[in-house]
Amino acid sequence: MSASAIELTGIMPEPERIRDRGLLERFRAGDADAFTEIYRAHGRAVFRFALLMTADEFKAAETTQDVFLWLIRHPGSFDPSRGELSAFLVGVARKLLKKRYSEERRWVSLDDAMACSKAPSNEGAGDVIRLRKAIAGLPERYRAVVVLCDLEGRTYEEAAAISECAIGTVRSRLHRARALLARKLVGRGCLA
């Protein structure tokens, strides 16, 4: 399979799958170095997902740490026959973030936290920050598919596996999320 085919299909090359299986077996047998290799191989992807979901580096780092602590406590939870380790770990991150979001929602007003400045910005960085905050303000089910499909470039099939829903559900949530984002950004003067 060519590199471009891998990028288009999102299928992990066989050597990486074999590597992950071997690392998991060693980790389950008590090899601490194997855990370190798992973290090095998948930590960035988990962090990137958490950062895109929260728009907060501290929360993303904390979530990444929680995912790997969870893996230490539940080393037998991943079944390699059901998918890739990276997708599994991102799914764990999604669940932890969903739990955290529901706990925080009781205490923080998202409208206040995500309010977009009406002042025009000459810098693209301000627009990126407003977009990240708008994405973070979406309900979790919509935010997850935007992050997975639009920002991380995962296929609908991968997003469905991570989100634990049907492919058609991913498509409809993505359509709805894009419409919500457009209304949020235009309504707050962030887009012309």
- Domain 1-106 matches domain 109-192 at the CATH topology level: no
Question: Rounded to whole angstroms, how far apart are CA atoms 109 and 26?
Answer: 45
Output the pLDDT for position 132. 82
For residue 162, give every residue at least 6 positions away whose Cβ sits within 8 Å of its Cβ, in sequence order, or none.
87, 90, 91, 94, 144, 148, 154
What is the mean pLDDT of each successive set of 10 residues along the chain, which is 192 residues long?
44 72 89 92 94 90 95 88 88 91 58 45 67 86 90 90 92 92 74 50
For residue 35, give every residue at least 6 positions away whose Cβ sits within 8 Å of its Cβ, in sequence order, or none.
27, 68, 71, 72
Task: Tell me which of 3.40.640.10, 1.10.1740.10, 1.10.8.60, 3.30.70.520 is the CATH number of domain 1-106.
Answer: 1.10.1740.10
Fold of 109-192: Arc Repressor Mutant, subunit A (1.10.10)
Output the pLDDT for position 124. 63
Per-domain boundaries in the chain:
1-106, 109-192
Output the pLDDT for position 170. 93
- What pTM did the predictor assign? 0.67
